[in-house]
């Protein structure tokens, strides 16, 4: 197994510039995520659409912007506004937001008591959850990207020679897992440690907690990447498909903002995504919830990871070890 891992690291040189750019982009993303969430005070951005020249919508917890017409939908998607309150006249108002139903109810409270509005709640995201959400997509994308060692072996038929050799096939797959685990997790953990210990930024969790959280999500990302490569045997296709699935599902899971918006069908789709459960677990952990109440969400992510990994082993073993020519 050690020889396999050593060979994987040696093969990095063939894509060193591509990989270096990827790692640097992730590190820059971590730095920006830590800096923004640690230093910028978060306020809700609310737009008030009204023809009235006077407005009593003021709150120390929110940035309130008066508009003459409704903002474009993309401005909500880009988080320029968290919500829009539309004055229909005669004391009637409409609310528009892409966030979930709970946030819509919060905006309804703004109408009743603007000055007392406080967007923060016991379920709001803290610094640690925000950083993890920001990192989630980049970590999963790197899991797919750095699986090129296995993807190339499959595409170039090298895996058939390995499977025919007098070694345990499981050791070969585990070596790919270990190689990817370290090359994805170490840069992320290193930059978090630098930001906390050297520059003194508040990153929400301790380094030990980040090590555990990164270990879980990196393992999930690698298991998913192995699953994709076990099914799609062309490296570029597997990379493109895996990356597309990661981007779509991670955004829908609420890595940056919620897409639920009260849509029952969409909510059901979102709640089966492992990324959603992982973020919910991280948020509950940071908010001090009872471990027993959030443990099922963590177990769900671990179980899905094991299913991906075990399926990959069975599929590739069937294709390359147990087949009869």
List Cα–Cα distances, 31 to 19, 71, 144, 205, in angstroms: 18, 31, 22, 15
The pLDDT assigned to 61 comes to 65
- pLDDT tens string 53-77: 665 666 666 778 888 888 888 787 7
Which stretches does DSSP call E strand in 68-124?
Answer: 83-89, 92-96
Average pLDDT over residues 237-256: 89
Dist CA 95 CA 91 (whole Å): 13
The pLDDT assigned to 308 comes to 96
206: CB partners within 8 A, 6+ apart? none
Share of residues in the chain with pLDDT > 90 (%): 23
Nearest alpha-carbon partner for 180 in 319, 25, 316, 11: 11
- pLDDT tens string 187-228: 889 989 988 899 888 888 999 999 999 999 999 999 999 999
For 61, list phi and psi in degrees, rounded to 5: -95, -5
Considering only residues 266 and 249, tell me which one the structure prediction assigns the higher pLDDT: 249
Mean pLDDT of the chain: 80
The pLDDT assigned to 157 comes to 79
| Residue 44, beta-bridge partner list | 62
H helix intervals, the chain: 2-10, 16-39, 73-77, 101-112, 127-145, 148-155, 158-164, 169-193, 207-231, 235-252, 264-270, 274-286, 291-320
Poorest-pLDDT segment among 14-23, 100-109, 194-203, 234-243: 14-23
Considering only residues 291 and 6, tell me which one the structure prediction assigns the higher pLDDT: 291
Sheet holding 44-49, edge to edge: 62-67, 44-49, 83-89, 92-96
Nearest alpha-carbon partner for 257 in 104, 126, 99: 99
**The pLDDT of residue 258 is above 70:** no
Poorest-pLDDT segment among 5-9, 47-51, 231-235: 5-9
Share of residues in the chain with pLDDT > 70 (%): 76
Give residue 44's pLDDT band: very low, low, confident or very high (50, 70, 90). Answer: confident
Considering only residues 262 and 290, tell me which one the structure prediction assigns the higher pLDDT: 290
The pLDDT assigned to 3 comes to 56
The pLDDT assigned to 325 comes to 46
CA dihedral of residues 279, 281, 283, 287 (deg, nearest 10):
180
Dist CA 146 CA 148 (whole Å): 5
């Amino acid at each position: 197994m050690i020889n396999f891992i050593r060979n994987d690291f040696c093969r990095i040189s063939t894509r060193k510039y591509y990989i270096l750019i990827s790692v640097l982009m992730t590190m820059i993303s971590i730095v920006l995520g830590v800096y923004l969430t640690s230093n910028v005070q978060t306020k809700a951005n609310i737009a008030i659409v009204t023809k009235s020249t006077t407005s009593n919508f003021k709150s120390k917890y929110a940035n309130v912007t008066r508009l003459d017409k409704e903002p474009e939908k993309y401005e909500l998607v880009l988080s320029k506004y968290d919500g829009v309150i539309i004055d229909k006249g005669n004391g009637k108002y409409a609310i528009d937001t892409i966030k979930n139903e709970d946030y819509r109810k919060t905006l309804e409270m703004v109408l009743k008591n603007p000055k007392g509005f406080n967007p923060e709640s016991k379920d709001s995201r803290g610094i640690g959850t925000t950083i993890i959400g920001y990192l989630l997509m980049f970590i999963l994308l790197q899991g797919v990207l750095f699986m090129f060692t296995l993807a190339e072996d499959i595409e170039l038929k090298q895996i058939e020679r390995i499977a025919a050799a007098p070694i345990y096939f499981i050791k070969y797959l585990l070596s790919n897992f270990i190689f990817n685990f370290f090359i994805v997790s170490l840069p992320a953990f290193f930059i978090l440690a630098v930001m906390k210990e050297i520059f003194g930024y508040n990153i929400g969790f301790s380094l030990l907690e980040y090590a555990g959280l990164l270990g879980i999500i990196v393992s999930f990302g690698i298991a998913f990447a192995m699953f994709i490569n076990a099914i799609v045997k062309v490296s570029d296709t597997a990379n493109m498909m895996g990356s597309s699935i990661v981007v779509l599902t991670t955004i829908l899971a609420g890595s940056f903002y919620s897409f639920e918006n009260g849509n029952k069908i969409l909510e059901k789709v979102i709640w089966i995504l492992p990324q959603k459960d992982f973020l919910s677990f991280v948020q509950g952990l940071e908010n001090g919830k009872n471990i027993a109440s959030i443990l099922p969400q963590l177990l769900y992510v671990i179980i899905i990871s094991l299913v991906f990994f075990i399926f990959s082993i069975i599929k590739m073993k069937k294709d390359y070890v147990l087949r009869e020519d």
